[in-house]
Structure 1
């Protein structure tokens, strides 16, 4: 028996159409990728349709340059009745030098929905288990 996934990882490449006039990652694109990572981990955890209820405390620490790789790690850190708190960390990597830096962090609140679009309960963190 294994536990449900509490973490998801995504990789994205920063191409010119993802950047602003300074050739750095557009903040809206960073938020979209972070929200996508939060959506994936929350959906896998709850095994329900989920929606974003809130994004909190998103910190842009260092710019991400065109041509860099970004790795997003989303983790379920807290579970309520129908909500899941997800922390997302984005690391920028220079493919030539291998230099890696945490560039953006944030927290997202995801809500599980039933087939009618109404918030529905999710398993508590300690009680969820699935068979392989």
Structure 2
């Protein structure tokens, strides 16, 4: 049976935050630790939503901080399942800063997180394979 849009698990989530002074360093830019916390949360939500299981972070891979994110900017955090193993899911996470007055958007940070699905006893459990493509009408 081919997957349909109704039976394919969602592979992407999006969250929005506003950068307040308590999120920033002395230069008025987002703390790296705060960025990582938002990214890990997005990876968790994307993996839990995809697998419909409890998930934990197993690893974060190469997080690249390309541009600073400043006080007052909106940050859209996008988590996308890009690979699936037996119980693992690799989630690509991007932080996109948006100036709310001009609408200018910039990709500021990108990283990958490996999440593991767990059964009720806390052991790794299989997750659905990542579909190649959803058939069109």
| Coarse TM-score class (shorter-chain normalised) | over 0.9
Mapping 1:1-132, distance limit 5 Å: 1=4, 2=6, 3-126=8-131
Q: Distance in 1 between matches of 2:107 and 2:83?
A: 22
Residue in 2 aligned with 1:130?
none
After superposition, the CA RMSD in angstroms is: 1.4
List gaps (5 residues or longer) in structure 1.
128-132
Q: Distance in 1 between matches of 2:109 and 2:101?
A: 21
SS for the counterpart of 1:50 is strand
Query: How many correspondences in the alignment?
Result: 128
SS for the counterpart of 1:125 is coil
TM-score by length of 2: 0.90
Q: Distance in 2 between matches of 1:122 and 1:98?
A: 38
List gaps (5 residues or longer) in structure 2.
133-137
